[in-house]
Amino acid sequence: MTTPRSIVVIGAGICGLASAIWLNRAGHSVTLIDRDAPGAGASQGNAGLMAQWAIVPVNTPGILGTALRYLPDPNAPLWLRWRDLPRLAPWLWQFARNANPRDAARMTRGLIQLVGDSTDQHRALVRGTRAEKWLATSDVAYAYDSRAGFEADAFGWRVKREAGFEPEVIEGPAVQEAEPLVGPAIGCLAILRGHGHVRDPGAYMADLAAVFEEEGGRYLRTEARDVTLTDGRVSAVLTDQGPLPCDRVVLAAGVWSGPLMRKLGLRVPLAAERGYHLHLANPSLMPRQPLMMARGKFAVTPMATGLRCAGTVELGHSDAPPSRAPFAAIRREIARAFPALTFESAEEWMGPRPSTPDSLPLIGEIGATGVFAAFGHQHVGLTAGPRTGRMVADLIGGARPNIDLAPYDANRFG
């Protein structure tokens, strides 16, 4: 970097925090703003996985048939708030258009670059800081009812294998020996060795914010309402506490980035992929590694404060209240898959994840405005946040990241 910049980062989730930390370390003057506490949204409500194997896009070539089977089924892991269908229809149309072999391969290449070294990126972000203690090394096991369920996921496993993720498949009585938490309903495990997870995402976000401030950054609890452009370049962020002059902005406000993008003249097709979790306090058993429940489509992660069961997908308005069906479905699958598990209480959480119709985020400068996008990561935000922050810091500092940036072009929908 040759010229220090005055930078405002909007959004204190994992992407905003990582961007702010890397920019501050590069010598810029950085102010991080959010209307809430650090990581108050999806960055603290997730499964806590550094999911570097999550390289299969949501809209695979067979997704339309799967969705048609799921939507009428109250036990399926996909829901749609039907009253929001008119608002979602344009996004769903673009989503469906990308569900073909050519675009699936394109989206996969983009995801591999973004998440394939997630564990290393997280460790580089926090090495030697108070936040480092929240990172754990672990395997991850996909839990199936039978070998047939594993084989039905052939497309996803082929994609993973091609990227170097080869599972160890366990069947029969050896399943319960490898993972005592699961009951007889689970007859097959596909284990990926040597990955990692976050032991408490909320505490991790709080410590990342503390690291940022300890290293000289400034955090403000305020809401961004607009961006001021002077001769086409950003000159200030307007907040509910007044203007913040700056010459660069990072927009990392998750699903709430859409309205600010419209003020810059771009309508980004951004849907709220509403995720749900149950956080079980004082569980009687803990898994030996995080589990991906194939039937319920949620993760089960051992954490410092209990056992988190997080996942499912509901498409709907970001500000709508939680639905009861996803919580009920998670509870049913917990009882079915883990019959010996008891717990003291189950905390419920729902949060919207920003999802684009091509399963890839927006990263990079919006036109020539000096505003840089860092949002749209759907359900891999925690995984990809540190890499995204480093990419944004490189771009603002004038360095070219050593990956193909085209899949994340912030102007591709404009």
Residue-wise pLDDT for 144-185, tens only, equals 999 999 999 999 999 999 999 999 999 999 999 999 999 999
Separation of CA 238 from chain center: 27
- Which pLDDT band, with edges at 50, 70 and 90, does 306 fall under? very high
Query: What pLDDT does residue 69 have?
Result: 67
* Same domain flag for 77 and 169: yes
Range of the domain at 143: 60-115+132-198+270-355
* Together in a domain, 379 and 320: no
Whether the CB-CB separation of 122 and 49 falls below 8 Å is answered with no
Question: Hunting for tokens 């394939």 — which residue is that?
Answer: 116
Residue 392 · residue 363 · CB < 8 Å? yes
SS3 9: strand
Burial class (CB in 10 A: 0-12, 13-18, 19+), 367: middle
Q: Do residue 100 and residue 241 come from a single domain?
A: no
241 & 341 share domain: no
Question: What pLDDT sits at residue 67?
Answer: 63
pLDDT of 223: 95
CATH assignment of the domain containing 148: 3.30.9.10
132 with 198: CB under 8 angstroms?
no
Q: Is residue 64 part of a domain?
A: yes
Nearest-CA neighbor of 406 among 123, 150, 186, 107? 107
Specify whether 243 is located in the same domain as 377.
yes
Are residues 92 and 188 part of one domain?
yes
Burial letters for 21-57: b for 16+ Cβ neighbours within 10 Å, e otherwise? bbbbbbebbbbbbbbeebbbbbbbbbbbbbbbbbbbb
Confidence of residue 389 (pLDDT cuts 50, 70, 90): very high
349 and 378 fall within a common domain: no
For residues 67 and 100, state if they share a domain: yes
Among the three residues 319, 335, 355, which one is the final residue of a domain in this structure? 355
Q: Which of 355, 374, 397 is the last residue of a domain?
A: 355
Per-residue confidence (pLDDT) for residue 369, from 0 to 100:
94
pLDDT at position 49 is 96
Question: Is 413 a member of any domain?
Answer: no
220 and 188 in one domain? no
Question: pTM of the prediction?
Answer: 0.93
DSSP class of 284: S
Per-residue pLDDT band for 227 (boundaries 50, 70, 90) equals very high
Q: What is the pLDDT of residues 239-297, one digit of tens each?
A: 999 999 999 999 999 989 988 888 888 888 888 888 899 999 999 999 999 999 999 88
Q: Which of 41, 11, 15 is nearest to 351 (CA)?
A: 41
The structural domain count of the chain equals 2
Residue 94 is assigned to a structural domain of this protein = yes
Provide the token pair at 328. Answer: 């009920």
Q: In sequence order, what are the residues at sequence separation of 6 or more whose Cβ sits closer than 8 angstroms to the Cβ of residue 303?
A: 48, 199, 200, 279
Which residue has 């998440």 as its token pair?
115
pLDDT of residue 58 exceeding 90, the answer is: no
Average pLDDT on 327-350 reads: 95
Residue 314 pLDDT greater than 90, yes or no: no
**Strand pairing report for 78-80 and 298-303:** unpaired
Mean pLDDT, residues 20-44: 93
The sheet carrying 242-245 orders its strands as 224-230, 233-239, 242-245
Residue 341 confidence (pLDDT):
97
Pair of tokens at residue 223: 């809401």
Q: What is the CATH number of the domain that holds 15?
A: 3.50.50.60
Q: Tell whether the model's pLDDT for residue 71 goes beyond 70.
A: no
Which of 355, 371, 394 delimits the end of a domain?
355
- Phi and psi of 390, rounded to 5°? -70, -40
**93 and 229 belong to one structural domain:** no
125 within some domain: no
